[in-house]
């Protein structure tokens, strides 16, 4: 049986590929377990500096596995499933290494929520992104109602959540949800190129930069600036900061070691 999620190491990048093309990469319990394990493994691999998340076949992901959900007989089973999905996506949000979603075809429901859990997103022209749960009489349950309004204007996020209608990659780029739009077939290469640029940075500074943005958004401005000041002071004491200044003076890329 082929894995539901493949992990490939390419230079300093780990490419995580949802690999259920026959099911349009629907996210079920097995995928959640593999994603959690993969993230834990990559976290401990010092040779990996950035992640790319993508999907095999003609779509990024159709969302949560409806076949599995339909097998549930109690609300508790569904609650447990959503809890595991939410925890896996939270690992990605809090991951110390930056992540890029390479989206093609469509990313719906839990698939879009996975892309939202990544730091950056690249999408192919014509890709559709949406949270269609309202059309099934429910709502997104793995962060969609909370992460989407933090990335889009509130009214646009409400429109997507309350109507269940998707937007295309071009509009997503105009709204700032997607960082780059490529021609069909180009999302993975573009995401890997972007991840390579991220991987060239100092690991401690990359992790700190993610924390400053994500946590600072939940603080008042004065507290957030204080948090920034203390974080930068800690980074000043690292060997990578010394290497960065030396590399700048010598007009060469920095050889950062994460210390």
Tell whether pTM > 0.85: yes
pLDDT per residue over 245-254, tens digit each? 899 999 999 8
Q: What is the pLDDT of residue 75?
A: 86
> Is the model's pLDDT at 1 over the cut of 70?
no
Q: What is the C-alpha to C-alpha distance for residues 190 and 193, in angstroms, rounded to an integer? A: 5
More confident position, 193 or 69:
193
Give mean pLDDT, residues 192-198: 97
Rounded percentage of the chain residues whose pLDDT exceeds 70: 99
Torsion of CA 241, 258, 54, 31, to 10 degrees: -140
Out of 113, 124, 180, 192, which one is annotated catalytic?
113
CA 221 and chain centroid, separation: 26
Confidence bin at 169 (pLDDT 50/70/90):
very high
Confidence bin at 3 (pLDDT 50/70/90):
confident
Ranges of H-type helices in the chain: 29-43, 66-70, 75-93, 110-117, 144-151, 154-163, 169-175, 187-199, 203-216, 221-236, 239-249
> Is the model's pLDDT at 2 over the cut of 80?
no
pLDDT per residue over 96-152, tens digit each? 999 999 999 999 999 999 999 999 999 999 999 999 999 988 899 899 999 999 999
Give mean pLDDT, residues 182-209: 96
Annotated active-site residue 113? The verdict is yes
Q: What is the pLDDT of residue 73?
A: 87
Provide the mean pLDDT of the chain: 95
Q: What is the C-alpha to C-alpha distance for residues 233 and 250, in angstroms, rounded to an integer? A: 24
Give mean pLDDT, residues 35-61: 95
Out of 8, 30, 124, 133, which one is annotated catalytic?
133
Annotated active-site residue 133? The verdict is yes
Q: What is the C-alpha to C-alpha distance for residues 186 and 21, in angstroms, rounded to an integer? A: 18
């Amino acid at each position: 049986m082929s894995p539901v999620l493949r992990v490939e190491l390419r230079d300093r990048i780990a490419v995580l590929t949802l690999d259920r093309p026959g099911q349009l990469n629907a996210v079920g319990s097995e995928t959640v377990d593999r994603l959690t394990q993969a993230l834990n493994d990559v976290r401990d691999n010092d040779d990996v500096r950035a992640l790319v998340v993508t999907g095999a076949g003609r779509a990024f992901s159709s969302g949560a596995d409806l076949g599995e959900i339909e097998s549930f007989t109690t609300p508790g089973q569904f609650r447990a499933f959503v809890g595991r999905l939410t925890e896996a996506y939270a690992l990605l949000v809090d991951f110390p290494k930056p992540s890029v979603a390479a989206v093609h075809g469509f990313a719906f429901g839990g698939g879009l929520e996975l892309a939202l859990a990544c730091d950056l997103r690249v999408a192919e022209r014509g890709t559709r992104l949406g949270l269609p749960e309202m059309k099934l009489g429910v709502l997104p349950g793995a962060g969609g109602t909370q992460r989407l309004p933090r990335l889009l204007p509130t009214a646009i996020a409400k429109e997507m959540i309350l109507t269940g209608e998707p937007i295309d990659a071009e509009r997503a780029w105009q709204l700032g949800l997607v960082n780059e739009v490529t021609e069909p077939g180009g999302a993975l290469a573009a995401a890997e190129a972007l991840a390579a640029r991220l991987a060239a940075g100092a690991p401690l500074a990359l992790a700190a930069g993610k924390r400053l943005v994500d946590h600072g958004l939940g603080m008042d401005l004065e507290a957030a600036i204080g948090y920034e000041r203390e974080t930068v002071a800690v980074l000043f004491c690292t060997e990578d900061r010394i290497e960065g200044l030396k590399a700048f003076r010598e007009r060469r890329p920095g050889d950062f070691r994460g210390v």
